[in-house]
Structure 1
Amino acid sequence: MIEFRSPQNEKLLSYIEGYYYLSEKNEKLPHYLTFPNNYTIVTFIKNGSVQQKGKIIYITKSNGNSLLSVITQYKSPLEIRYLDPVDEITIYLKPGALACIFPELINDSQVKTVFDCDAQFLKKEFNRISNKEGNKDLDTEIEKFLANRIGRKIDGLLAEMIKRLNNNQTIGEISAELNLSRQYISNYFKDGIGKSPTEFRTISRFRKAIKNHAIDETLTKLTYENSFFDQAHFNKYFKLLTSYKPKDFFKQTQGNNKVVWLII
Structure 2
Amino acid sequence: MTIKKYIPTIELIPFVRSILVINSQEGQINRVLPDTAFAMAFRIRGEVAYIEGTENQLLPSMTISGMRNAFRLIGYAPKTTTIIVLFKQSGISAFYKPEMHELYNHSTSLDTYFAQTDLSILDEQLQSVSDHSRQIKAIEQFLISKLIVRKQDPLVTEAIAKIDQANGHIRIKELIKDLYISQDAFEKRFRKTTGATPKQFSQIIKMQAVISQYQKNPAILDIAFENGFYDQPHFNRTFKTFTGQAPTEFFKTARYW
TM-score bracket, shorter-length normalisation: 0.7 to 0.9
Q: Determine the structure 1 residue equivalent to 2:17.
A: 17
Indicate yes or no: 2:175 matched with 1:178.
Answer: no
Letter aligned with residue 103 of structure 1: Y
Normalised by the length of structure 2, the TM-score is 0.78
Aligned length: 247
Relative to structure 2, which stretch is displaced further, 161-170 or 215-224?
215-224
Indicate yes or no: 2:87 matched with 1:115.
Answer: no
SS at match of 1:157: helix
Relative to structure 2, which stretch is displaced further, 47-56 or 196-205?
47-56
Indicate yes or no: 2:117 matched with 1:124.
Answer: no
Offset, 1:16: 2.2
Please give the residue correspondences for 1:71-90 in structure 2 after superposition, counting only pairs within 5 Å: 71-83=65-77, 85-90=79-84
Offset, 1:179: 2.3
**Structure 1 pair 122/156, CA: closer, same or farther in 2 (3 Å)?**
farther
Which residue, out of 91, 102, 116, partners 1:97? 91
Letter aligned with residue 71 of structure 1: S
Letter aligned with residue 74 of structure 1: R
What is the distance in 1 between the residues matched to 2:175 and 2:204? 18
SS at match of 1:227: coil
Relative to structure 2, which stretch is displaced further, 227-236 or 75-84?
227-236
Q: CA RMSD in A?
A: 3.2
**Structure 1 pair 188/126, CA: closer, same or farther in 2 (3 Å)?**
farther
The answer as to whether partners of 1:48 and 1:67 remain within 8 angstroms in 2 is no
Letter aligned with residue 69 of structure 1: T
**Structure 1 pair 144/174, CA: closer, same or farther in 2 (3 Å)?**
same
Offset, 1:220: 4.1
- Unmatched runs of 5 consecutive residues or more in structure 2: none
Offset, 1:243: 2.5
- Unmatched runs of 5 consecutive residues or more in structure 1: 61-65, 255-259
Taking only the aligned residue pairs, the percentage that are identical comes to 20
The answer as to whether partners of 1:2 and 1:20 remain within 8 angstroms in 2 is no
The answer as to whether partners of 1:36 and 1:75 remain within 8 angstroms in 2 is yes
SS at match of 1:198: helix
Q: Determine the structure 2 residue equivalent to 1:164.
A: 162
Please give the residue correspondences for 1:43-54 in structure 2 after superposition, counting only pairs within 5 Å: 43-46=41-44, 54=52
Q: Determine the structure 2 residue equivalent to 1:189.
A: 190
SS at match of 1:190: helix
**Structure 1 pair 127/21, CA: closer, same or farther in 2 (3 Å)?**
farther
The answer as to whether partners of 2:62 and 2:110 remain within 8 angstroms in 1 is yes
Letter aligned with residue 223 of structure 2: L
Offset, 1:78: 1.3
**Structure 1 pair 187/132, CA: closer, same or farther in 2 (3 Å)?**
same
**Structure 1 pair 72/57, CA: closer, same or farther in 2 (3 Å)?**
farther
**Structure 1 pair 210/204, CA: closer, same or farther in 2 (3 Å)?**
same
SS at match of 1:5: strand
